[in-house]
Amino acid sequence: MAKATIEALLARKDKDVLKTKEVHVPALDMDFVVEKKPLSVVAGFFDDMRADMSFSKSIEIYKELIYTCVPLFHDKKLQEAYNCAEPYDVVPAVFDDNVMAIQALGNEILSLYGFDELIQQVKN
C-alpha cells in the first residue's frame, strides 16, 4: 500500500483519468462509448431515482442519464430517423423499448462512479 503524498497525488492527476468507457449492450450486440460526466450531474440523476421509485420515473431517469452520457444519442439525424419528439426519446427507440437493456446500460454508467452498492440498496 502506497502512502499518500503530494507527489503521488499530483502524479495521479497527470495520469490519463478515465474519461470514456466502451460498454457492451447484449440486447443490441453493440458497444457504446460512455463519457464520464461530472459527479454532480450524475449524482442528480441518482437523487431523482431515490426520490421517486416508480417504474415510469426510473425509466425517464435512465433514458436521460444514458442520453447525457452517450454522445452518439445526441445526433440529430438519429433522432429524426427514430421520429423522436424529444431528444431523450431516442434511447428507448434505439433499444426498442427493452427496459432491461436500458436499465443495464444505466447501471453500467452509474457504476463508473461507484454507485454499485447504492444501486443495490435502492433496488431493495
pLDDT tens-digit map of 25-49: 999 999 999 999 988 888 888 788 7
User: How far out from the chain centre does Cα 34 lie?
Assistant: 7
Contacts of residue 123, defined as CB under 8 A and 6 or more positions apart, other chains included, come to none
CB distance 46 to 114 below 8 Å: no
Instruction: Please provide residue 94's backbone torsions phi and psi, each rounded to the nearest 5 degrees.
Output: -65, -35
Give the number of domains in the chain: 1
Q: Could you give the CA distance from residue 94 to residue 122 in angstroms, rounded to a whole number?
A: 26
Q: Which three cell numbers stand for residue 96?
A: 426498442
* 54 has pLDDT over 90: no
The b/e string for 5-19 (b: 16+ C-beta within 10 A; e otherwise) is eeeeeeeeeeeeeee
Q: Which three cell numbers stand for residue 37?
A: 460526466
Question: Looking at the domain assignment, is residue 118 inside a domain?
Answer: yes
Question: Looking at the domain assignment, is residue 8 inside a domain?
Answer: no
CATH of the domain at 51: 3.30.2220.30
Question: Looking at the domain assignment, is residue 107 inside a domain?
Answer: yes
The pLDDT, as a whole number, for residue 119 is 57
Rounded to the nearest integer, the mean pLDDT of the chain is 87
Question: Looking at the domain assignment, is residue 98 inside a domain?
Answer: yes
Q: Residue 70, SS3? A: coil
Question: Looking at the domain assignment, is residue 13 inside a domain?
Answer: no
* pLDDT more than 90, % of the chain: 53
Q: Which three cell numbers stand for residue 97?
A: 423499448
Of the candidates 115, 118, 110, 94, the one whose C-alpha atom is nearest the C-alpha of residue 36 is: 110
Question: Looking at the domain assignment, is residue 10 inside a domain?
Answer: no
pLDDT tens-digit map of 110-124: 888 887 766 565 555
**Domain limits at 97?**
21-123
